[in-house]
Chain A
Amino acid sequence: MATRASAPNAPVTISTRVDKVGLRPKVTRAIRALVVVILTVLILLPVVWMVMTSLKSPSDVVAVPPKIIFEPSIESFIFLVTERVQFPTRQEADEFRARDDLKWYEEKVAERGQKITRVGDFPKQLRNSFIIAGTSTIFSVLFGVLSAYAFSRFKIPGEGDLLFFILSTRMLPPVAVTIPIFLMYRELGLDNTYFGLILLYTTFNLSFSVWLLKGFIDEIPKEYEEAALVDGYTRLQAFRKVVLPQAVTGIAATTVFCFIFAWNEYAFAAMLTSDATRTAPPSIPSIQGVGRIEWETIAAASLVFLMPVVIVTFALRKHLLRGVTFGAIRKG
C-alpha cells in the first residue's frame, strides 16, 4: 500500500479480485473438505456410538476401555421389546435352558439367566407416539394449509392482529405453561388421553405451520387460481387442483417440522401421560433393566425412536432442501 500511496498514478499490478486474493484454489478446497469432514464426524459420532452400544452384548457395553471392535449382538433389541425376570437360582436357570421347546429369543434371554414374562411396554409406547405425532401432524398441516390460504387470499378483518395472535402463542416457552395446562387438563379429563396430547401438539404446531405455509402460498401467483376460476372450476376445485400441487414443497417441509416437534416432545408427554398413552420420549430414560442399567437397551430404544424421523426426512429431502431455502431468495 505504501508504494501505491507514494505513486498514485502508477498502474495497479496486483489483482484486486476477491476470488484471487488468498490461497490457491486447491489449498482452499482441501481446507474446506477438512472442515466438512470434522463437522460430519462431530455430528455423527454420538449416533455412531449409539448404534455401536445398541449392538453390544451386556458385558461389552460396560467394558473399560470401550471396545471399538466387538461381536455384534441383537440381545438389546430383544430386551427392548420384552419384560423379563431373573431366575432366583443358577439351577433353575439351567433347568429352563435345558428345555427344548424354547424359541431362539427365549434361549438368548435364558443365557443371561432370565425368563421372558410378557411383551414389553416399548412397542406400545412407540405406537402411541405414532398415533399422537402422526395425527397431530396431519391436523397441523391440514388446518395450517386452510388458514394460510385464507390469510393469503382473502381480505380478513383484523388480519394482521389475528396473525400476530397466532404467532404470539409461540412467544412463551411451552415449559412455562406446563403446570396450568396440567391442571386444566386434569379438570377437563384430557390428561392421559390421545386426544389431549393431539390437541396440545396441534395447537403448538399450528402457529408455525400457518406462518410457514402462508409464506409458500403467498408465493403462488393468484392468477393461477383465477385462471382456473374462469376456466370453469369452483374455488375449492381450483384450490385442490392448482394451489395444492404448487404448494407441495411447503407442505412437505411443514410436515417434517411438525412431525419432528410432536415426535420429540418430552415435557408435556412426561406430565400428561401415564401407562396407557405414554409416548416413547419420556419412557426411554426410564427403561429399567433387570438387575442393572441396560445401556444397550436404552441405546436400542433411542435408535428405534430415531428411525421414523430419519425415514420421513429422507423421503421428503428433495422438497425439504427447497423448502428451507424458500423465502430466502425472492423472485421479483
Chain B
Amino acid sequence: MATIELINVEKKFGSSYAVKPMNMTIHSGEFVVLLGPSGCGKTTTLRMISGLEAVTDGQILFDGKDVTWLHPSDRDIAFVFQFFALYSHMTARENIAFPLQAQGEPRDSIRKRVEEVAKMLRIEHLMNARPGGLSGGDQQRVALARALVRRPAAFLMDEPLGALDAEFREAMRAEIKRLHIEQNATTVYVTHDQIEAMAMGDRVVVMSAAVVQQNGTPAEVYHDPANLFVAKFIGSPGMNLIQGHYADGKVALPGDNRYTVPADWHTAIHEAIGRDGDIILGFRPEAAHISASGPIATTVYTTDLHGSYTMLHLELDRDTIVDVRAGRGTNYPIGTPARFDLDPAMVRFFDPKTEAAIHKGGNP
C-alpha cells in the first residue's frame, strides 16, 4: 500500500483554476474523502492522482517516487467510476479478469483470483451475467471486484455510490468500509455527500472553489470547522451562524439578545478582531438546549419531527432563524416564545472579514 503525496499540485483549464496549488499527504492504508460541492475540483484532483488528467504544475509522489508524468497503467492504482464503466460486451467474470489479463498473468491464477474476489463481494452467482442485466448495486459490486482483483497500491473512487438508489447506497457504504478495513488499502474517495464523507473517511478534505478549505478527521471538520464554508457545508442542517457585535466579553445578537462569551475565548477573540468589532457566533443544533432561564430569547418559527428528536426553527428576529435540537417529549406551538442556552464547550467564533474560524489556542 502506498503513501500518496501531492506537492503544489495544480490544474488550470485555460486561465481558470480547476485546482489551485494544493499540498496533501495520504498515508498508507488511510481512507481519505475529498468532499465538496460539484465543480470544486475534487474529481479533478482524483483524476490527477490517477494520471487520467495531467497536472499543470506540481509533483505527485507514490511512496516517495515521482509519478507525476507516469501513464495511468504504470501507477498501480484502481479506479472506481460513478457509472461503473463496466464493459457491456463482456460478462462479469471477464470484466473482473480484464485488469489481470493486462499483466499477462497465467490463466489458472487469474481464475483463482477472480473466484476469490467474487466470493469476497458475494457475487459468485452473477459471474456469467452481462452488466446490462444486473442491478445498480450488483454492477457496482462487479466494478469494485474489478478494482480489488489486482491488489493495487491505491484505490481511487469517484462518487461510486452516486448512481445508486438510497437503499443500495447504505448497504454499499458499509461494504466499501468493510473492504477497506479488510484490505487496509490506501483509498481516496470523492463525494459531494457530507454524510457519506463523515461516515466513511479516516480523514475528510473539504474543497470549495478549487481550494482545500480544511483537511481533518470527521470530528475535526464537524466540531472545529476552519471557516464559514466548512461550518455551513458539514452537517444537516449546517452550523448556525449568527452575525453579532462583540464588546466587553459579550456578543450583541439580533432581537436585542446578548450572549456572554465564555472567558476562555476572550484572548483569542481580542487577538483576531480586537476588543470591539463584528463577529459571527456559530453553534451546532445540538449545542443549544431549551431552558426558561436561557440568555437568548426567540419565537418558535416551525418545528420538524425527526423521529428520535425534534428540530426547532427559532426566530431571533425577522432575518435570523436558528436550528435547535430538542427532545421529542415537549410540544412547541408555533409563535410561542422559547429561550435557549448554549453549551460553552461547543460554541465557535468566526471573523466575518476573513471568514476564518477564531481558534482558542491562537490563530495559525
Residues of A whose CB lies within 8 Å of any CB of B are: 221, 223-224, 226-234, 237, 242, 245-246
CB distance from A250 to the nearest CB of B (A): 14
| Cα of A224 to Cα of B90 in the assembled complex, Å | 12
Interface string of B63-92 (1 = CB under 8 A from A): 000000001110101110101010111000
Is there a chain A Cβ closer than 8 Å to B146's Cβ? yes
Residue contact B73 to A227, C-beta cutoff 8 Å: no
- For this complex, 11 residue pairs linking A to B, each with C-beta atoms less than 8 Å apart, are A223-B81, A226-B72, A226-B85, A227-B146, A228-B98, A229-B51, A230-B78, A231-B146, A234-B73, A242-B87, A246-B87
Mark interface residues in B47-74 (1 if CB within 8 Å of A CB, else 0): 0001110000000000000000001110
On whether the beta carbons of A221 and B87 are closer than 8 Å, the reply is: no
Q: Would A246 and B103 be within 8 Å (CB), given that A226-B81, A228-B98, A231-B150 are in contact?
A: no
Cβ contacts under 8 Å, B156 to chain A: 230
Alpha-carbon gap, A246 to B85, bound state (A): 12
In the complex with contacts A234-B71, A242-B87, A246-B88, A227-B81 CB distance below 8 A: yes
Number of interface residues of B (CB under 8 A): 23
B interface residues, Cβ below 8 angstroms from A: 50-52, 71-73, 75, 77-79, 81, 83, 85, 87-89, 98-99, 102-103, 146, 150, 156
Most buried by B among A221, A223, A230, A237: A230
Are A224 and B150 also in contact (CB < 8 A) when A230-B52, A231-B99, A232-B102 are? no
A229 touches B98 (CB 8 A): no
Q: Are B102 and A231 in contact (CB under 8 A)?
A: yes
Residues of A within 8 A of B87 (CB): 224, 227, 242, 245-246
Which residue of A is nearest B156, CB measured?
A230
Give Cα distance in the complex from A227 to B79, angstroms: 7
Q: Is B88 within 8 A of A229, CB to CB? A: no
Q: Can you name the residue of chain A whose Cβ is closest to the Cβ of B81?
A: A223
How distant is A239 from chain B, measured CB to nearest CB, in Å? 13
User: A171 to nearest B CB, angstroms?
Assistant: 32
Which of B73, B83, B89, B103 meets A229, CB within 8 Å? B73
Known: A230-B50, A230-B78, A231-B102. 7 other contacts (CB 8 A): A221-B83, A228-B102, A229-B51, A229-B52, A230-B156, A232-B102, A245-B87
Question: Are the CB atoms of B102 and A223 closer together than 8 Å?
Answer: no
Q: Are B73 and A223 touching (Cβ within 8 A)?
A: no
- In the complex, the chain A residue whose C-beta lies closest to that of B152 is A230
Whether A230 contacts B72 by the Cβ 8 Å rule is: yes
Contacts of B71 in A (CB 8 A): 229, 234
Q: How far is the CB of A153 from chain B (nearest CB, A)?
A: 12
The smallest beta-carbon distance between B15 and chain A, in angstroms, is: 16
Complex Cα spacing A232 to B132, Å: 24
Among B51, B78, B89, B103, point to the contact of A245 (Cβ < 8 A). Answer: B89
Min CB distance, B149 to chain A, in Å? Answer: 9
The residue in chain A whose Cβ has the minimal distance to the Cβ of B52 is A226
Whether A230 pairs with B73 at a CB distance below 8 angstroms is yes
How far apart are the CA atoms of A224 and B150 in the complex, in Å?
Answer: 18
Q: Which residues of B contact A231 (CB under 8 A)?
A: 73, 78, 98-99, 102, 146, 150
Q: How far is the CA of A171 from the CA of B15 in the complex (A)?
A: 37
A230: which B residues are within 8 A, CB to CB?
Answer: 50-52, 72-73, 75, 77-79, 156
A234 to B85, CA, bound (A): 17
Closest CB of chain A to B13's CB: distance in Å? 10
Provide the residues of chain B in CB contact with A232, threshold 8 Å.
73, 99, 102-103, 150
Chain A residues within 8 Å of B73, by CB? 229-234
Contacts of A229 in B (CB 8 A): 51-52, 71-73
Q: 7 closest pairs, A vs B, by CB?
A: A232-B102, A231-B99, A223-B85, A227-B85, A230-B79, A232-B73, A245-B89
> A219 to nearest B CB, angstroms?
12
What A residues does B78 contact at CB under 8 A?
A: 230-231
B95 to A, closest residue via Cβ: A227
Cβ contacts under 8 Å, A223 to chain B: 81, 83, 85
A38 CA to B46 CA, complexed, in Å? 61
Identify the interface centre among A224, A232, A242: most chain B CB within 10 Å of its CB. A232
A153-B76 Cα distance, complex, nearest whole Å: 24
- Bound complex: CA A321 to CA B150 (Å): 39
**B156 → A minimal CB distance (Å):** 8
In the bound complex, how far is the Cα of B88 from the Cα of A26, in angstroms?
Answer: 41
Name the distance in Å between B206's Cβ and chain A's nearest Cβ: 25
Residues of B near A234 (CB, < 8 A) are 71, 73
Q: How far is the CB of B352 from chain A (nearest CB, A)?
A: 42
**In the complex, what's the smallest C-beta–C-beta distance from A238 to chain B, in angstroms?**
9
A172 to B98, CA, bound (A): 47
Q: When chains A and B are docked, how far (Å) is the Cα of A251 from the Cα of B102?
A: 26
Cβ-neighbour of A226 out of B79, B89, B98, B146 (below 8 A):
B79
Residues of A within 8 A of B79 (CB): 226-227, 230
Closest to A238 in B: B73
In Å, the complex CA distance between A232 and B77 comes to 9
Whether B102 pairs with A246 at a CB distance below 8 angstroms is: no
Q: How far is the CA of A227 from the CA of B156 in the complex (A)?
A: 11
Q: For residue A193, give the distance in angstroms from its CB to the closest CB of chain B.
A: 40
* Cα–Cα distance between A230 and B85 once the two chains are bound (Å): 12
Question: Does B89 lie within 8 Å of A221, measured CB to CB?
Answer: no
How distant is A173 from chain B, measured CB to nearest CB, in Å?
40
With a cutoff of 8 Å between Cβ atoms, the chain A residues found around residue B52 in the complex are 226, 229-230
Cβ of B102: which chain A residues have Cβ within 8 Å of it? 228, 231-233, 237
Instruction: Please name the residue on chain B nearest to A228 by beta carbon.
Output: B98
With A226-B79, A227-B79: A246-B89 Cβ-Cβ less than 8 Å: yes
Find chain B residues with CB under 8 A from A228 CB: 98, 102
- Taking the closest CB of chain A, its distance from the CB of B74, in whole angstroms, is 8
State in angstroms the CA–CA spacing of A221 and B121 once bound together. Answer: 26
Bound CA span A139–B314, Å: 73
Contact A224 B85 (CB under 8 A): yes
A237 proximity list for chain B (CB < 8 A):
102
- Please measure, in the bound complex, the distance between the C-alpha atom of A174 and the C-alpha atom of B85, giving whole angstroms: 43
Provide the residues of chain A in CB contact with B72, threshold 8 Å.
226, 229-230
